[in-house]
Structure 1
Amino acid sequence: MPFVEPGGYSRGELDRVGNRIREGVAGSEDLRILDNWRASHLYVLNTFQASLRTRRSRFDVGEQITIAQRLKRRPTIIDKLNREAGMSLSRMHDIAGCRIIFPNLNSLDRFRTSVLNSRAAHELLGDQNRYNYIVSPKPSGYRGIHDVYKYNVGSTGGVRWNGLRLEIQYRTYIQHAWATAVEISDIVNATRLKFSEANNDITRLFLLCSEILSRYHEGVNGYCGNLAARDLIFEYKNIESRIHAISRLRGLTSSAFQKFARSSKLFILVNYTSTEKEGHFEAESFPDNASAAVRYSELELRLEGIADVVLVGSSQQDAIKLAYTNYFSDASGFISALDQAVEGLS
C-alpha cells in the first residue's frame, strides 16, 4: 500500500508556510506543501491504528470498543492556525487522529493503561494527565482524554516519518454522544460552541447536558459538580424552553446514515452545506492512502465553501458511522441518552 512521504522541507520552512496561511498571503506552493504534510501523516495513522486494533483483540470477548481514524480537514487546519496565534504548523499535534470509543469508563481506563504501558518507542508528549478532560472536564462540558505521541521507530522503512505527531482520543459512548451533538448543533444552530465561541445560553445548556449525562450514565460529577440534581434539571429545562437548541436536534437522522454501507477501509465523506444540494451526502471509498490523499485535496479545493469534506477510515463494520455521526447529521444517540438521564434525575 503506497504512502505519501514528507516532502523534504525543514520544520522552519513548514512553519513559514503556516505563517503565510495565517496572514492570508499563502500561494499555491504553500498549499501544496500543506497538503503533502497532511497526507504524510497517513502512514503514522495507519501504523497506530493497526497497533490499537491488535491490542483491542487481546481484550475480553464482547468488549464493544470502536476504533476509527481521521485526517484533519484543510479548512480546520487553517482555522486552528488563525484561532491560536502561537500555533505552528509543524507542532500541530492533531492533524492525524485515532478515535477510540468505549462502553464505559472502566473499559476506557484499562485499555488506555495498556497503551501507556506498552514497550513501543513512540514518545508521549507531556505527562499522562496533560489532556485528561475526564479528571478535569473543560468548562464547555467536554469530557474525554487526548494523548499525543511523537512517532519514533528504528526500522528502515519507517524512519522517514519519525517526528510526526498523532493524537489518540479516548471517549466513552456517552462522552462521544455529547461531543458529536455539539458539532451537529453548531451546524443546526449556526454557532461555534466547539470552539467556545457560542452565546451564553447555548454554552450553558450543553454544559448542563454534559453534567446530566455524566451523573446519570457514568455515576460521576462533571464540571458542575456543585449543582444539586434538582437545580441541574430545572436550569436545563428553563434554558431549553427559551432557546429550543435540543429540540432542533430531535428527529435529525440523515438518510445517508441509514444507507451508508461498508465496502472499504478508507472513505471520503462529503456533506453539502449550501447550494441546491444542501443536506446531500456522498461517500467515496479508496483502496490505498495515496489515491485518497490526492482526491481529498482535489475535493476540498473544488467544494470549498459549499461542502464539508473529511477523510476517515476504520477496519470495523459500522465504525465510521458511530465514530463520525456528526458528518451524518445524526443526533439520535445523544437525544436518547439525554432523555433517559433527565427522566432518571428528575
Structure 2
Amino acid sequence: MHLIYRYFSDRSDDYNGLLIEVQLRSLLQHAWATAVETVGTFLKQSLKSSQGHEEWLRFFVVMSSVLALREKTSVAPGTSPKRVDLIKELRKLAITLDVQRRLQAYGDTLKALEDTSVAHAQYFLMALDPRADTITIRGFTKSELGQATSQYLVVEKSLDESNGAEAVLVSVDSIAALKRAYPNYFLDTRAFLAAVQQELK
C-alpha cells in the first residue's frame, strides 16, 4: 500500500507542498523488494523499474504472484491465478537462472564487502563462483577506475559462466544506496530465499 501525503508546516513554508510517500509492506513483500534491489544492483539493471534481463524480471513477477496468493491478495497482471501453474513456471525460472545459488552468493558477497577494509576504495571488483562457494574481492581507488575496468574484463573472461560464475564491478555509491534503502535487510536475502525454497518444495 502506498500512501501519499502533502507536507505542511506552520513554522516554515520552505518545504510546503512537497509530497511524501509511505510504503506499507508485509515482511514477505519487503523481502521480495530487497531481493529485486540486490539482484538489480549486481546486474546493473533497474529491475524495480521493469528494465533489464527478461527472465529475472519474469521470475520476480511470478514470485510476487506466488506471495500474493500466500497473503490472499491479487496476483500480478500477466500471471496465472492458479498456484500450480505459478509454481511450475517459478521452478523452471529458478533452475534456468540458478536463483538459489546466485542470491546466496550475492548476500555472501555483500557481507564480505562490508567486512573488507580497502583504504579509500571507491570500486570493488568481485568474482563470484556460487558452485565453488568462493568470493574474491579487490578494491580500487577513484583514480584506479581504468585499472579496475581492465581487470574486470580479464576476470570476466576467465570465469566459467556455465557454472553460474560472474564478475561484477560495483561502486561504493551503489552499495551505499542499497544499504540506505534497505538498512534492516541489507546483506540478507535469506528471508526471500526461504520463501522461494518453501514454494519450490
Aligned-residue CA RMSD (Å)? 3.2
Q: Distance in 1 between the 2:73 and 2:4 partners?
A: 25
Q: Distance in 2 between the 1:246 and 1:332 partners?
A: 10
User: Is 2:177 aligned against 1:321?
Assistant: no
What's the secondary structure of 2:25's corresponding residue? strand
Distance 1:273 1:248, change over 3 A: farther
Q: Deviations over 1:271-291 (max 9, x none)?
A: 96535338xxxxxxxxxxxxx
User: Is 2:136 aligned against 1:277?
Assistant: no
User: Is 2:91 aligned against 1:237?
Assistant: yes
State the 1:306 CA deviation.
Answer: 4.5
Select which of 36, 45, 62 maps to 1:182. Answer: 36
User: Is 2:198 aligned against 1:340?
Assistant: yes
Select which of 160, 165, 186 maps to 2:19. Answer: 165
Aligned length: 150
User: Is 2:53 aligned against 1:199?
Assistant: yes
Q: Distance in 2 between the 1:172 and 1:272 partners?
A: 34
- Structure 2 matches for 1:1-346, cutoff 5 A? 145-153=1-9, 155=10, 157-216=11-70, 218-223=71-76, 226-250=80-104, 252-253=107-108, 254-255=110-111, 273-274=123-124, 276-277=138-139, 306-308=172-174, 309-310=176-177, 321-322=183-184, 325=185, 328-343=186-201
Q: Distance in 1 between the 2:194 and 2:90 partners?
A: 16
Q: Deviations over 1:162-182 (max 9, x none)?
A: 122211111111111101100
Q: Which amino acid aligns with 2:8?
A: N
Q: Distance in 1 between the 2:104 and 2:47 partners?
A: 18
Task: Tell me the TM-score normalised to structure 2 length.
Answer: 0.61
Cα contact 2:40–2:48 (8 A) shared by 1: yes
Cα contact 1:274–1:307 (8 A) shared by 2: no
- Bigger Rg, which one: 1
What's the secondary structure of 1:147's corresponding residue? strand
Distance 1:149 1:226, change over 3 A: same
State the 1:205 CA deviation.
Answer: 0.9
Which structure 1 residue ranges, 5 or more long, are not aligned?
1-144, 260-270, 279-303, 314-319
Q: Which amino acid aligns with 1:180?
A: T
State the 1:305 CA deviation.
Answer: 5.0
Q: Which amino acid aligns with 1:149?
A: Y
Q: Distance in 2 between the 1:159 and 1:240 partners?
A: 51
Distance 1:341 1:220, change over 3 A: farther
Q: Distance in 1 between the 2:59 and 2:111 partners?
A: 28
What's the secondary structure of 1:149's corresponding residue? strand
Cα contact 2:35–2:189 (8 A) shared by 1: yes
State the 1:341 CA deviation.
Answer: 3.1
What's the secondary structure of 2:73's corresponding residue? coil
What's the secondary structure of 1:148's corresponding residue? strand
State the 1:257 CA deviation.
Answer: 10
Task: Tell me the TM-score normalised to structure 1 length.
Answer: 0.38
